[in-house]
Amino acid sequence: MRKTILYLIFSSSFSINAQIDYSKLVVGRTTGEQLMHDGAMVRTFGFAETLSEDIKVPGPTIEVTEGDSIEFDFWNVSQGAPHTIHLHGLDVNQENDGVPSLSFEVLHMEHGFYKFKAPHPGTYIYHCHVVSTIHVQAGMYGVIIVQPSNGNQNQVWNDGEIYARDLLWTSSEIDTNWHTLTVLDHNHSSNTPHYVPADYAPQYFMINGESETQLSQESGYYYTGQNEKVYMRLVNIGYYGVRYIFPSSLNATTIASDGRPLPSSFENDTIEVLPGERYGTMIETGTDILYPVVVEYFNLNNQVVESSQNVIIKTSPLGIETENITGLKVTPNPSGSGVFNINSDILVDYSIYSILGELIIQGNSSAIDLSDEPNGMYFLQTENSIQKLIKK
Amino acid sequence: MIKYTLITLLCSISLLCSSATIDVRLVINSGSHSLTGGAFVAAKTYSVSNTFEDNSDIFIWNHDDIINLKVVNLDSEPHGLLIENHVNISSILSGDSVSQSFTLAEEGVFRYFDPLNSPFNEYLGLSGIVHVKSVLDTSSYFYWDIREIDSSWNELIILNTPPNLVDYDPDYFTINGVSSPDINMDVLARPTGIVGEEFKVILVNNGQSIHSMHFHGYHLTIATDSKRPSHVGRSKDTFPLYPREHLVLSCTPDKPGEYPVHDHNLVAVTGGQQYATGMFITMLIAE
C-alpha cells in the first residue's frame, strides 16, 4: 500500500510518464541455485525476465536505447523481504532510485514501476538496494547497456568508435557463509539494523557467475573473430577490487568509464575496476587463436590478491560478424540437456557448427537438439547472424 | 561529537588584498572513540580542544594566511605533525609542545598526520584535512575524512604491538568519525545544494583500505586528484579512493531530491555487523 501511495505521488511530477518507449518486466526471486565450478550448489537471489525462467547470477542483461523513456515493471515473487531495483549510474530521480527508505520498496507479489530516460550510451548496473550488502551478495544484480540513439549497436556512442562485437564481463564473488538460510532469510523491518556476518571471505571469484574450470574449459571461452575490434565492458559488482591484465598484443585502450567517455583515453594492458565501477576498453584481436586474460581479485583492506582467474578469448575461424539477431532468443543457454528452444514468432532457418567449423545440423524447427553431441561450444548461424550455444 | 575549526574569512572584505594571521593551538589527545552500537575503541586525535575528540579537526584556511601553530602533546607517547607541502615537525615529546609559523603559500587540499610509528599513529586518528582556499573562492565545499576501524588493530597499537597489515579486517567505517545515520547531522559533511548551483565535495582517505564511493543520482567531475592527476576531468558516478589519496569532486545538480552516497564495497556500509550503519551519507538537493 505504501508503495502505491508513493508511486502516485511521484508519478504526478514525473515528466516521462506520458510516453514509454520500452517497457521491461523484471522478476525478482529468492529461490535460485548457482552451480559452482566444484559442483557445489549455492542458494542465490536474483532477477529473471519471466516467472518460469531459472534464476541466474548475474541477472539478464537489459539493452535500451539512448534517449528512450524506459519503464521497468518489477515483480517481486520472493516471499520474504521486499526488494527494489536501484538503477546504478543512470542518474535517475529520487523516486526511481530504488533506495527503499527514500523511494519505495516492493513487497511480495507486488509490482513496482521504475521510470527513467536512458542516458549516455554505456554500461550500467541494476541491483536490489534492500539490505544491499546481503541482497547484492545473494545475486540480485545485472547489467544495463544503453545503446546509441543512432541505432548502431556496434558503436560505443554516436560518432564514437565502431567495433565488431562487445564482450560483457561482470566480476563478483560468493562467500557461501553469506548464503545460508540464517543470513538470506532475514527478518525485515525498515527501521531496525540488519545483521550481517562478521567477515567476508569469498571462496568463489567469478566472471559472469563462473570461475576456475568453468572459465578455463573450452565451454567457458569467449569467442571473437580474428583481426576484430572488440569492446570490453568491464563491470565490478563484487566487494573486491579486480585487476584485468590483457595480453599486450590486444593493444587494450580504455575509452570510457561509468557510462561516459574519458576526456583522454589511455593505453594500458592492466585495468583496475573497483566495486560499482564500469570501464569500456577496446581491444584488437590478431590472428592468434587464444588470448588468455588474467583477472586478479584483491582484498580492498590489505590489497592482497586472493584469487586469479584465467579468462580465455578465442578467435574463431568462422569470422563471426554479428552476435545476436534482434528478437531471436535461445533458451536455456547454457543447456544441460543439449536441447535449446528458439523463442521466435516465425521459424528461422539455421545451421549449427562446432567450434572447428564443422556443420552439425541444419533446420528450421523451434527446438535444436544437441543431446547426442559432446559438451562444449557451438555456433548457431542464421541468415544474418551467429551466436554461441553452450552445452554443459 | 566532532568539532571543527572553521577559521575562514575572519577579517571579511578587507582581507581580499591582504593575508590574515591566525593562531592555532593544536592538541594531541588520546581517548575512546565512540562507535556504532555503543562500542568504543582507543584512539588518538589532533584537536584545538584540550579534551579528546573522536576525529581530528578539519582546517579551512585562506591562501597566503600566516599560521602561528603551537602543537601540544598531551599523550603519553611522542608524536609529530606533518602538513603536506607546509609543515614538518618530526617529534614532540609527551607533555611538550612545539611552535612553528608558516605561510599558506599553496592552494589545495592537504593531509596532515603524525609521521611517527607509520602508519599506525595516523591510523589511530592522528590524521586530518587542511583545505587552503583562494580568498576569491566562493564555492560551497563539503568535507569527508574517510577512514575505517579494525577494533583489534586499535587494541594492539595502544599496547605498542604493531599489527600485520595482511590481517587488517575493519569492522567499522566512518566519515568524519561517525557513521550512518549520524553523519547526516554533520553540516560540514552532508552535501546540500540547489539545482543549478555548483558545490564541491572533498574526499580524503585517511584509512588503510581502498574505498569506492558511489553517488546516486549524479555523475560528478573530478576537479583534482592527488594520486592520479591524469583523471582530472573524468565524469563518473563511482570513485576509487586509495589510502592517503584525496579528491575534489564538482557537482552541479539538475534535479531535487535526497541521494545516497556510499562505499560500493558494500561491507563498508555496515558497522559492527549491522546494516546500514557504515559509510553511507545522503546529498540533499533543493529546487
What is the interface pTM, i.e. ipTM, of the complex?
0.93
Nearest to B257 among A94, A198, A240 (CB): A94
CA distance B182 to B34: 12
CA nearest to B283, candidates B213, B196, B215? B215
- Backbone phi, psi, residue B232, to 5°: -60, 135
Nearest to A300 among B166, B259, B265 (CB): B265
Which three cell numbers mark A293? 586474460
Which residue of chain B is at minimal alpha-carbon distance from A127? B264
A63: buried, middle or exposed (CB in 10 Å: 19+, 13-18, 0-12)? middle
B235 contacts chain A (CB < 8 A): yes
Integer angstrom CA distances of residue A202 from A141, B169, B191:
17, 14, 35
Integer angstrom CA distances of residue B274 from A59, A175, B280:
27, 18, 13
Spatial contact of B273 and A195, defined as CB atoms under 8 Å apart: yes
Q: Residue A261: is the preceding peptide bond cis (ω within 30°)?
A: no
Put residue B155 in one of left, alpha, beta given phi > 0 → left and psi -120 to 50 → alpha. alpha
Residue A190 has what pLDDT? 66
Between CA B247 and CA B253, with CA B249 as vertex, the angle to 5 degrees is 165
CA distance A240 to A221: 23
Integer angstrom CA distances of residue A134 from A46, A333, B86, B182:
12, 27, 44, 22
Q: pLDDT by residue for chain A (392 residues), tens digit each?
A: 344 334 433 433 344 456 999 999 999 999 999 999 999 999 999 999 999 999 999 999 999 999 999 999 999 999 888 999 999 999 999 999 999 999 999 999 999 999 999 999 999 999 999 999 999 999 999 999 999 999 999 999 999 999 999 999 999 999 999 999 999 988 777 667 788 998 999 999 999 999 999 999 888 999 999 999 999 999 999 999 999 999 999 999 999 999 999 999 999 999 999 999 999 999 999 999 999 999 999 999 999 999 999 999 999 766 554 444 344 678 777 777 888 888 777 778 888 988 777 888 988 888 898 988 887 778 888 766 677 787 77
User: Which residues, at least 6 apart from A253, have a Cβ–Cβ distance to it below 8 Å?
Assistant: A265, A266, A267, A281, A282, A283
Residue A99 with chain B: CB contacts under 8 Å:
216, 260
Residue A390 has what pLDDT? 78
**Percent of chain A whose predicted confidence (pLDDT) is above 90:** 71
Q: Which residues of chain B have pLDDT under 70?
A: 1-18
Residue B266 with chain A: CB contacts under 8 Å:
132-133, 136-137, 239, 275
A–B: how many Cβ contacts below 8 A? Answer: 136
Taken in order B4, B10, B13, B14, the sign of the CA dihedral is negative
Which residue of chain B is at minimal alpha-carbon distance from A300? B210
- Reply yes or no on domain A2-163 having CATH 2.60.40.420: yes
User: What is the number of other CB atoms lying within 10 angstroms of the CB of residue A218?
Assistant: 12
In chain A the first and final C-alpha atoms are separated, in Å, by: 44
CA distance A13 to A23: 20
Nearest to B216 among A99, A136, A198 (CB): A99
- Grid-cell match 573522536, residue found: B54
Q: How far is B229 from chain A (nearest CA, A)?
A: 12
B166 contacts chain A (CB < 8 A): yes
Cβ–Cβ below 8 Å for A196 and B267: yes
How long a stretch of residues is chain A?
A: 392
Span A26-73, pLDDT tens digits: 999 999 999 999 999 999 999 999 999 999 999 999 999 999 999 999
Q: Which letter does DSSP use for residue A56 in this model? A: -
Mutation target for B interface from A85, A87, A302, A305: give the one with most B CBs within 10 A: A302
Residue A28 has what pLDDT? 97
Domains of chain B as residue ranges with CATH: 12-136 (2.60.40.420), 144-286 (2.60.40.420)
Start-end of CATH 2.60.40.420 domains in chain A: 2-163, 172-315
Q: How far is B3 from chain A (nearest CA, A)?
A: 27
Mutation target for B interface from A99, A133, A301: give the one with most B CBs within 10 A: A301
Residue A213 has what pLDDT? 95
Cβ–Cβ below 8 Å for A301 and B171: no
What's the fold here for domain A329-391?
Immunoglobulin-like (2.60.40)
Please state whether beta strands B192-194 and B280-286 pair in parallel, antiparallel, or not at all (unpaired): parallel
Please state whether beta strands A270-273 and A241-245 pair in parallel, antiparallel, or not at all (unpaired): antiparallel
How long a stretch of residues is chain B?
A: 287
Q: What is the CATH number of domain A172-315?
A: 2.60.40.420
Cβ–Cβ below 8 Å for A241 and B210: yes
Q: How far is B90 from chain A (nearest CA, A)?
A: 27
Taking 3-state DSSP, the helix, strand and coil percentages for chain B, each rounded to the nearest 5, stand at: 15, 45, 40
Nearest to A276 among B212, B217, B275 (CB): B212
Render the burial of B70-89: b for 16+ CB within 10 Å, e for the rest: ebbbbbebbbbbbbbebbeb
Nearest to A91 among B212, B219, B238 (CB): B219
Residue A7 has what pLDDT? 40
B273 contacts chain A (CB < 8 A): yes
Please state whether beta strands A22-35 and A41-48 pair in parallel, antiparallel, or not at all (unpaired): antiparallel
Residue B260 with chain A: CB contacts under 8 Å:
97, 99, 102
B70 contacts chain A (CB < 8 A): no
